[in-house]
Structure 1
């Protein structure tokens, strides 16, 4: 276990985390500190009120992400319908040309086979 110290709203908090998770916990702590500053700068009130408002804002972000994830999962699970739109005229001409050449080639092979037998 690792022990780290976060500073949020001028106070130090000692946090235990799994080894290797220190950078992530610091990143999270810095994010919370940033949001607390934004709330404190935008609203008058006590530090505890700023922390409470910040908690509500962070909870709102989490709820929004859950809703987006749920919507994305629902969308990903819906069967997709692929509608054939046809070929572009130039592609259709090219395919017809290839079929004509293949037909001619098969006819040549059949003719040679008949001559050989």
Structure 2
């Protein structure tokens, strides 16, 4: 276990976290500190009131993200169950003409081979 100190709203808080998670926990602490500063700047009040309002704002963000994630999951499930429509776009006309010509030549060649084989037997 690693131990770090977070500074939030001008106070230091020792926090234990898993090894390797120090940077992430520091980022989270900095985010909470930023949000508390925004709340304190927007509304005067006690430190505990600022912490409570910040907690509500962060909870609101979490709820919004959960709702968006659920909606995205439902949309993905719907799309997964819908039949896929494949629309043939076709080849460019010049390519189609070239393929048609090649098929005609091959058909004629096969016919010539068939006739020769018939005469030989």
- TM-score scaled by structure 2? 0.82
Deviation at 1:99, TM superposition (A): 3.1
**Secondary structure in 1 aligned to 2:92?**
helix
Pick from 87, 90, 95 the counterpart of residue 89 of structure 2. 87
SS for the counterpart of 1:45 is: coil
Secondary structure at 1:61 match in 2: helix
* Number of equivalences: 116
Equivalent position SS for 1:44: coil
Partner Cα separation in structure 1 for residue 100 and residue 84 of structure 2: 26
Deviating more after overlay: 27-36 vs 74-83: 74-83
* Structure 1 residues 104-115: aligned runs within 5 Å: 104-115=105-116
> Partners of 2:23 and 2:42 in 1: how far apart?
29
Task: Give the RMSD, CA atoms, in angstroms.
Answer: 2.1
Which structure 2 residue ranges, 5 or more long, are not aligned?
none
Query: C-alpha separation between the residues in 2 aligned to 1:17 and 1:71?
Result: 32
Deviation of 1:11 (Å): 1.2
Map Cα deviations across residues 9-62 of structure 1 (whole Å, 9 max, x no partner).
Answer: 111111000111100000100000001001110111111111111101100111
- The aligned residue for residue 56 of structure 1 is 56
